[in-house]
A and B are shown apart, each in its own frame.
Chain A
Amino acid sequence: MISAILKRVSMGVITLLGVAIVVFILLRVAPGNPIAMMIGPGASESDILALKAKYGLDQSLPMQFWIWLTNFLQGDFGTSISRQVSVISLLAERLPATLELAIAALVIAVLLGGLMAVASTLLRKSWGASTLDGANSLLLTVPEFVWALAFVLLLGVAFPILPLSGRNDPAAGTVFVTNFYLIEALVTGRWGVAWDVFSHMLMPVFALALPLAAIIARVLKEALGEAMMQDYVVLARVKGMSERRLVLGEALRNAVGPTLALTGVQFTFLIGGTVIIEKIFSYPGLGNMAIDAVINRDFPLIQGLILMFGVLFILINLAVDLLVVALNPRLSRG
């Protein structure tokens, strides 16, 4: 078990290295003067020299990478050009917002998708099934981008019941200790604040969650269908279990593993989706910052962000693999 984890982690590290190399090459290969791109206008001669020395820009490409890598491992991600602060502080500042969004979206996607799949399985002998299937097909089609924009139009403009931007109401002047606004508000019992934060999250979270929910619903439904055809379900039915108990008590536990194996990777796509969703809702997270960073050619920040996303992706894949093993008694025990 431990050796499997270690193996996965080392593979992850190698992948991360690959990502770092690709990013490094991309940015160095970009047309234009790298110095001018890494330093703002109005820099003095000594500033330019210092930058050259720091990044080793007059040395060979592999050497530059080595310098960059050693800096990186020491926690020095460089300084953001557009914001003049260390990249790592920016990442730390924005990560909680994106994490709250992503995790909330995941929870909703799992609940919604799970509910749809179970309902579909319970209703499979009646008309309800085809309605649900139709709804699922529709959900599968619409990408997060379109959901977000539709929400903006319907719930932000046409019937303005939800706020269109930011994490909370700036007029309220709320003060937070951590950057996990929602969690902090809930933990400290400030329900009004929590609702304020939550209402700002609703649209982006649902825009992110709905596509994932649709996939989970489809895959889980198939897995449940497979499980319900097994002999142990027949025997359980003979024992006198109700249909609901058969689906939830007998079939579900065997359907979750395969579903997770197939849909786990989709969560990384969800995280990728925060890039555009945060932009649309002016939500101050990693994704929003990423687009600005690219437009501003803020290379150190771009590098840091891509690596941050890379780390998240690899961690998620690792977590999914471990969970799949943990959920399967055949793999986790003897």
Chain B
Amino acid sequence: MSKPLLTISNLSAVSRRDNKPILRDVSLTLDNGRIQGLVGESGAGKSTISKAILGILASSVTVTGGSVLLDGHDLINMPEREKRRFVGSQIALIPQDPLTALNPGRKIGDQLTDGLKMWKGLSGKAAAARGLELLDQVAIRDPKRVMESFPHQLSGGMRQRVLIASAFALQPRLLIADEPTTALDVTVQKQVLKLLKTMQAEHGTAVLFVTHDLGVVAQLCDEVTLLFQGKVMEQGVAEQIFSAPRHAYTRALIAASPRYDNPSAGLHPIDDAVIAACRAEIASFDNQGARHG
């Protein structure tokens, strides 16, 4: 059993403004080549974990404990310059909104080849050639024209493909996909997910798939980590979690999700009692911390 690629151990963080906990003792591991879903509602702490890995935590958030290791490298305490190089070449991000994630004032080609020029030392020409290849890989039909275009000239789906191409450009070890289909039409969503799976399989990249949509997780992910208010509620192999969920929250979440495989199952909103139980669990965790802290 090889060492996991990404190891998050007991990561805790609070908001600097009011000292409220954002992350509560979160642990997860991700092996090379695996796809893990990071699931939770808004405010569960998913984006905080992503930002901690990418090294772009807001100054209003303080890490109070734990570690984030990629291939053994400590991402939290890495010096700025080294972190930029490391994250820039080893980790990639597919952002949520393709509309705002591309610089409206720069050509697609320039944005696509940024990483190649910065970290692979490619010349402008070589980078451009590689860029064309990448656009081809994501099934963009007129790559030359797209390279010369500005973001506003492309459709939403095309922009997301460009972002996917850009993410895989440097053959990253880890890819963080931050709700990449939320801002897209349903029809486009399916295409994009398919593309993502294909690219991942080809490059063997490990993927942390951040989402609130269990349906997508079921389609795509090998493993799942479920978050509620910054605390891990359930974690494990996807199949197992879906077939035999242990935590009440997981059960409720599954029941609340639209089931594409069983349309007649109906929608069941999460029971207040379940939420209350989760809150109680969190409260007791916090109190424990307070007693020992």
Instruction: Report which A residues bind B (CB closer than 8 A).
Output: 125, 230-232, 234-242, 250, 253-254, 328-330, 333-334
Contact = CB atoms under 8 A, between A and B. Distances in A.
A73 to B, nearest CB: 43
A235 B84 CA distance: 12
B95 A330 contact: no
A242 B88 CA distance: 11
A240 B89 contact: yes
Contacts of A125: 59
B102 interface: yes
Contact of B56 (A232, A234, A250, A330): A234
A330 to B, nearest CB: 5
Interface of B: 54, 56, 59, 84-85, 87-89, 91-93, 95-97, 100-106, 114-115, 118-119, 150, 152-153
A250 B59 CA distance: 21
Contact of B85 (A230, A236, A240, A333): A240
Nearest to A256: B105
B101 A330 contact: no
A237 to B, nearest CB: 6
Given A235-B95, A330-B150, A241 B102 contact: no
Contacts of B100: 230-232
Given A254-B103, A330-B104, 7 more contacts: A231-B101, A232-B104, A236-B103, A253-B103, A254-B104, A329-B150, A329-B152
A201 B84 CA distance: 46
Given A329-B152, A333-B153, A334-B153, A238 B103 contact: no
B245 to A, nearest CB: 33
B265 to A, nearest CB: 36
A232 B118 contact: no
A125 B115 CA distance: 26
Contacts of A234: 56, 95, 101
B104 A235 contact: no
Contacts of A237: 56
A143 to B, nearest CB: 34
For A230, A234, A328, A333, the residue with the greatest tally of chain B CB atoms inside 10 Å of its CB is A234
B85 A238 contact: no
For A232, A250, A330, the residue with the greatest tally of chain B CB atoms inside 10 Å of its CB is A232
A238 B97 contact: no
13 contacts: A232-B101, A232-B104, A234-B56, A234-B101, A238-B56, A239-B88, A240-B89, A241-B84, A241-B118, A253-B106, A330-B152, A333-B150, A333-B153
B95 A239 contact: no
A334 B152 CA distance: 8
- Across chains A and B, which 10 residue pairs bring their CB atoms closest together, nearest first? A240-B88, A231-B100, A253-B105, A232-B103, A329-B150, A240-B84, A231-B101, A238-B93, A254-B105, A330-B152
Contacts of A241: 84, 88, 114, 118
A240 B95 CA distance: 15
B217 to A, nearest CB: 23
A231 B98 CA distance: 9
A20 B24 CA distance: 74
Nearest to B98: A231
A232 B150 CA distance: 13
Contacts of A250: 103, 106
Contacts of A239: 88, 114-115, 118
A140 B56 CA distance: 35
A242 B104 CA distance: 20
A230 B59 CA distance: 16
A238 B104 contact: no
Nearest to A231: B100
A240 B101 CA distance: 15
Contacts of B56: 234, 237-238
A238 to B, nearest CB: 5
For B56, B105, B118, the residue with the greatest tally of chain A CB atoms inside 10 Å of its CB is B105
Contact of B54 (A238, A242, A254): A238
Nearest to B92: A238
B114 A236 contact: yes
A5 to B, nearest CB: 22
A19 to B, nearest CB: 37
Contacts of B115: 239-240
A230 B101 CA distance: 8
Contacts of B104: 232, 254, 329-330
Contacts of A231: 95-97, 100-101
Contacts of B92: 238
B181 to A, nearest CB: 16
A321 to B, nearest CB: 19
A250 B114 CA distance: 11
A220 B101 CA distance: 22
Contacts of A254: 103-105
Contacts of B101: 231-232, 234-235
A295 to B, nearest CB: 50
Contacts of B119: 240
A329 B105 contact: yes
Contacts of B152: 329-330, 334
Nearest to B50: A238
For A237, A239, A242, A329, the residue with the greatest tally of chain B CB atoms inside 10 Å of its CB is A239
A250 B151 CA distance: 14
A216 B114 CA distance: 30
Contacts of B114: 236, 239, 241
B89 A235 contact: no
B151 to A, nearest CB: 9
Contacts of A242: 84
B91 to A, nearest CB: 7
Contacts of A230: 100
A239 B114 CA distance: 8
